[in-house]
Structure 1
Amino acid sequence: MKIHFLGTGTSQGIPVIGIKHPVCLSTNLKDKRLRSSILIDWNNTKILIDCGPDFRQQMLRIDNDALDAILFTHEHADHTAGLDDIRPYCFMESKAMPVYAQNRVVESLKRRFDYIFETTNRYPGAPSIEIHEIEAYKDFSVNNKIIKPLLVNHGSLPILGYRFENFAYLTDVKTLDEATYKQLENLDVLVINALRIQEHPTHNNLTEALEHISKIKPKKAYLTHIGFQLGFHDEIETILPENVFLAYDQLILDI
Structure 2
Amino acid sequence: MKITFLGTGTSQGVPLIGCTCEVCSSVDYRDNRLRVSVHLQVNGKSIIIDSGPDFRQQVLRERIKKLDALVYTHEHKDHIAGLDDIRPFNFMQNTDMPLYGEERVLERIKQEFPYIFAEYKYPGIPKVELYPVINEPFEVAGVEFIPIRVMHYKLPVFGYRIGDFTYITDVSFIAEEEKDKVRGSKVIVLDALRHEPHISHFSLQEAIALLTELKPERAYLTHISHLLGLHREVEQNLPDFIRLAYDGLQIEV
**Separation in 1 of the partners of 2:48 and 2:141?**
14
Alignment of 1:32-181 (within 5 A): 32-118=32-118, 120-136=119-135, 138-181=136-179
3-state SS of 2:115 partner? coil
Structure 1 residue 216 displacement after superposition: 1.4
Structure 1 residue 144 displacement after superposition: 2.0
**Separation in 1 of the partners of 2:144 and 2:120?**
37
3-state SS of 2:48 partner? strand
Structure 1 residue 33 displacement after superposition: 0.5
Structure 1 residue 43 displacement after superposition: 2.0
**Separation in 2 of the partners of 1:212 and 1:72?**
23
**Separation in 2 of the partners of 1:35 and 1:190?**
19
Counterpart of 1:22, as a letter, is: E
Instruction: Provide the aligned length of Structure 1 versus Structure 2.
Output: 253
Structure 1 residue 124 displacement after superposition: 1.3
Runs of 4+ in 1 over 3 A off after TM superposition: none
Counterpart of 2:78, as a letter, is: D
Q: What is the percentage of aligned positions where both structures have the same residue?
A: 46
3-state SS of 2:98 partner? strand
Aligned counterpart, 1:224: 222
**Separation in 2 of the partners of 1:219 and 1:104?**
34
Structure 1 residue 226 displacement after superposition: 0.1
Structure 1 residue 145 displacement after superposition: 1.7
Question: Match for 2:192 among 191, 194, 216?
Answer: 194
TM-score, length basis structure 2: 0.99
5+ residue gaps in structure 1? Answer: none
- Root-mean-square deviation (CA, aligned residues, Å) is 0.7
3-state SS of 1:214 partner? helix
3-state SS of 1:115 partner? helix
Deviation string, structure 1 residues 184-237 (Cα, Å, up to 9, x no partner): 111110000100011110001101111111221111100000000000000000
The question of whether the paired residues in 1 share the 8 Å contact of 2:147 and 2:159 is answered with: yes
Deviation string, structure 1 residues 88-145 (Cα, Å, up to 9, x no partner): 0011111110000001101111111000111x21111111110000012x11112322
3-state SS of 2:116 partner? coil
**Separation in 2 of the partners of 1:94 and 1:104?**
28
Counterpart of 1:134, as a letter, is: V
Counterpart of 2:38, as a letter, is: I
TM-score, length basis structure 1: 0.98
